[in-house]
Amino acid sequence: MTTQTTSFNVVETSSAYRDYQQFKFDTKPTNGETITINSKVYTFVTSGEAAGDGDLNVDASGDLPETLADLEAAIEAQDAQFSGTRVRVQAAGNDASYNNTLVLESLSSSTYDAVFSPTFGTAVTEPDGTSIATSGGAAATVTVNKNNAIIFNASGLSTTFNVKKLKIQTFANSAADMDDAAANAKKMTLDFGTVLEANGMTQFGAEFTPVFITQNGSRFGTFAGVSIAESGLTTALFDNGETAHHLPNPDRHLRQPERARRPHRQHLERHRGIG
């Protein structure tokens, strides 16, 4: 056995961004109670109902794990959207073999509700104890949905940004948490671009060509050549399409450049001796 030597924190995911919703049952439902999931009504029956037949009546003659197992089978048989692991049962508590929790995953097609009948005889909570449906209370409705951080359309462009800031906590060097608390630092602001424009986060399945480009300045360019106009204006050319103009060529100031000749050596020596 390995002994844990360091502590760590576990933070519950906000219900708005979960892929699932958990329903922990205190006891098994009584006869005639119902739970409506994605508009289908499942009725718990304590006698005369066959287990595993896949109809809308749930066999509740056994214990809680057996009842939830039959509810899972009924949901999978009645609603094709809950195939695979989109609906499952699991344990929540000290007994890992006692499945007392129903897990419903969010559907990509739409939002749906889980509605407990007003006469529901057992308390239903989240695993941490947060109440969902109280015993004998009014009908409780739980919306199962997930707000994706970024939503894209069929063209791969972003349509919705549901997250704007990032919270960072528990730095190794004990720096202040970035959580917007008065005594700490600000959260990190996230900029994913502009919705419906390919200037930020996109979701393309293959190579693509930008529809438009807006830029401030020119890309890097190297010297490609030089041109000299008849007026003497010298222009440097670069491979990024940019040009740079320089002062006119000094030769244009010679009235008769064809008569220009090299000074005599003695003339140069005479000028060197002056002063």
Q: What is the mean pLDDT of the chain?
A: 83
Residue 94 confidence (pLDDT): 74
pLDDT at 246: 73
SS3 for 144? strand
Mean pLDDT (whole number) for 100-119:
89
pLDDT digit string (tens) for 13-22?
766 677 889 9
In the prediction, which pLDDT does 268 show?
Answer: 44
**pLDDT at site 102:** 96
Residue showing tokens 């602001």: 189
Q: What is the pLDDT of residues 154-184, one digit of tens each?
A: 888 899 988 888 888 888 888 999 999 999 9
pLDDT higher than 80, residue 216: no
Instruction: Kindly indicate the confidence band of residue 270, based on its pLDDT and cuts at 50, 70 and 90.
Output: very low
Bigger pLDDT: 97 vs 73: 73
**Predicted local confidence at residue 255, as pLDDT:** 54
